[in-house]
Structure formats: C-alpha cells, structure tokens
Amino acid sequence: MRKALTNIFNRAGDMKVIAEARDAEEVFRQIDSQNADVLVLDLNMPGKNGLEILKQLQQTGSDLPVVVLTLFPNKKFKNEAMRLGARDFLTKDCDPNDLIGAVRKAKNRAG
C-alpha cells in the first residue's frame, strides 16, 4: 500500500514522499526528523492506532496537517479523527485524485 501511495503522489507532479512508517513509533521518528507538509495516516497501525497518534499529535501541539486514509469507513472513526485534528478522512478505495486533492487542501490550509 505504501508503494502504491508513493506512486500516486509522485505522479501528481507537485508532491514528493519524503518518509514512510511501518508503525506508530516510526511515525513519530519521521515527524521529528523530516520537514513534512502533510502526514497521510492509516488508522490501523501496529503499536498505537491512528486515533491514538492523532491524539498524541494534538497533545504535543503539532500543527502538521493529517489526512486519514483507512479501510474503516466507520462514521464514529471519522468523527473522532476529525475531532482530533485530521483535515480529511478517506477510504483506501477512494479515487487517487480525491486523495491528491485532500493532501493539497490540507497543505494549503496549513500554509
């Protein structure tokens, strides 16, 4: 999935994937070491899940825009993710152009 996402973003022309993470711990290492414009976050990750990651980002005062991409189109998850600061919430079967648009929108709202 990460490789497919990298290909989608690289084809957009104005985006570049600068880091990937396998688990929550690596997410925070990458955030600390990279200067990312947007984080695309899965809810289902080893260690802490995506909602826990969003909560921790919120608690630390991070202003990194987050777009949630998940297999779980559950309204409860969406509402919680948005409450915790996610800029958008998409399912993994969304149109790639919708994902690119959500990332652009999240970046533009941040900058």
Domain boundaries defined on the chain: 2-110
Q: What is the pLDDT of residue 111?
A: 57
∠ CA 6-84-55, rounded to 5°: 85
- Calculate the alpha carbon distances from 107 to 5, 76, 84, 103, 110 in Å: 17, 25, 17, 6, 5
34-64 tens-digit pLDDT: 999 999 999 998 889 999 999 999 999 999 9
**Token match 């570049």: residue?**
16
Look up the pTM and report it: 0.92
Q: What is the pLDDT of residue 28?
A: 93
**Token match 């999935």: residue?**
1
56-106 tens-digit pLDDT: 999 999 999 999 999 988 899 999 999 999 999 999 999 999 999 999 999
Q: What's 2-110's CATH class? A: alpha beta
